[in-house]
Amino acid sequence: MINRIKLARLELGMTQQELADAVGVTRQTITLIEKGDYNPSLRLCLAICYALNKTLNDLFWPKEAKV
Amino acid sequence: MKKMLTDERIIEEARKQNSMGFILLYYGLLLVLLYRQFILRQSFAEYWDVALLFFGITFYMAARRINSGLLANKLNPLSIVPSALIAAVVFVGVQYFWHMSNTLSELVICGLVFLACFFGLNLLMQYFSSKKNDDLLKQ
């Protein structure tokens, strides 16, 4: 799944560890999600959205797919 | 000592590994049973503990599959026929090679009784599984 977590995180000046601490997961999990190697649950997606002050559409939907 | 953080990815990965471990153990038990019965030719009294464990696990898994409705969405007796036929042929083959004294008529009767029991039991399992699925849709 394409996601824009890394971009949104860097916009806020957050490190992977800070985001991981904010949503209660390990840094490895954040790395894998950013690389697209792990599909997070909806609960974790929402937690990441809250932490980065973004919506699901902003982070997890590519612009091309927007209707 | 600081407790290691566990998140959904770690739990999911651990479950996958546990699942693979279970599969290896389950089929390992089956191989042990077959080896002890057909190669070592032990009596049931010598391996009843392993057999009890294997069939207990099998019964538990079947019961859970039925109870969760995962076994079958709807009743489909035709889908049972191929597996029932294969199981009956294997059963008759084992009967023949294991009890060489069996006559042809005995083998045919054994095979038909096994086929009917296997088919009936699977049909019953499908019925309860599909009933569970119907109940889920009603909720």
CB contact under 8 A, B9 and A24: no
Place of tokens 């390992």: B28
Per-residue pLDDT, A67: 46
Q: Is B40 on the interface with A (CB under 8 A)?
A: no
Q: According to the model, what pLDDT value does residue A65 have?
A: 52
Cβ separation B7–A38 shorter than 8 A: no
What is the tens place of the pLDDT at every residue in A3-59? Answer: 889 999 999 999 999 999 999 999 999 999 999 899 999 999 999 999 999 999 999
Q: How far apart are CA B132 and CA A52, in angstroms?
A: 42
Instruction: Pull the structure tokens for residue B32.
Output: 């042990």
Which of chain B's residues have a Cβ under 8 Å away from the Cβ of A25?
Answer: 5, 7-9
Tell me the ipTM for this assembly. Answer: 0.81
Give ∠ CA A23-A28-A32 in degrees, rounded to 5.
Answer: 95
Which of B3, B4, B6, B7 to mutate against chain A (most A CBs within 10 Å)?
B7
Q: Which residues contact B123 (CB under 8 A, 6 or more apart)?
A: B75, B77, B80
| Banded model confidence at residue A60, pLDDT cuts 50, 70, 90 | confident
Residue among B113, B83, B122, B80 at smallest CA distance from B95: B113
Over the stretch B54-99, which tens digit does the pLDDT of each residue have?
A: 999 999 999 999 999 988 888 899 999 999 999 999 999 988 887 7
> Percentage of residues in chain B with pLDDT exceeding 90?
70
Rounded Cα distance between B110 and A28, Å, is 58
Residues of A engaging B, defined by a Cβ cutoff of 8 Å:
24-26, 28-29, 32, 38, 40-41, 43-44
pLDDT of A46: 95
Chain A CB within 8 Å of residue B3 CB? no
In contact, B86 and B111? CB cutoff 8 Å: no
Residue with tokens 């089956």: B30
Assess B41–A contact: CB distance below 8 Å, yes or no. no
Give the pLDDT confidence score for residue B103 in this predicted structure: 85
- Residue pLDDT, tens place only, B104-129: 888 899 999 999 999 999 999 999 99
Alpha helices in B35-103 (DSSP H): 44-68, 80-98
Contact B5 A32 (CB under 8 A): no
* Cβ pairs bridging A and B (under 8 Å): 23
Q: Across all residues in chain B, what is the average pLDDT?
A: 91
Among B8, B9, B15, most A C-beta atoms within 10 A, so best to mutate, is B9
Q: Which of A26, A40, A44 sits opposite B5 (nearest CB)?
A: A26
pLDDT score at A3: 80
Query: What pLDDT, on a 0 to 100 scale, did the predictor assign at position A64?
Result: 60
* A66, pLDDT greater than 70: no
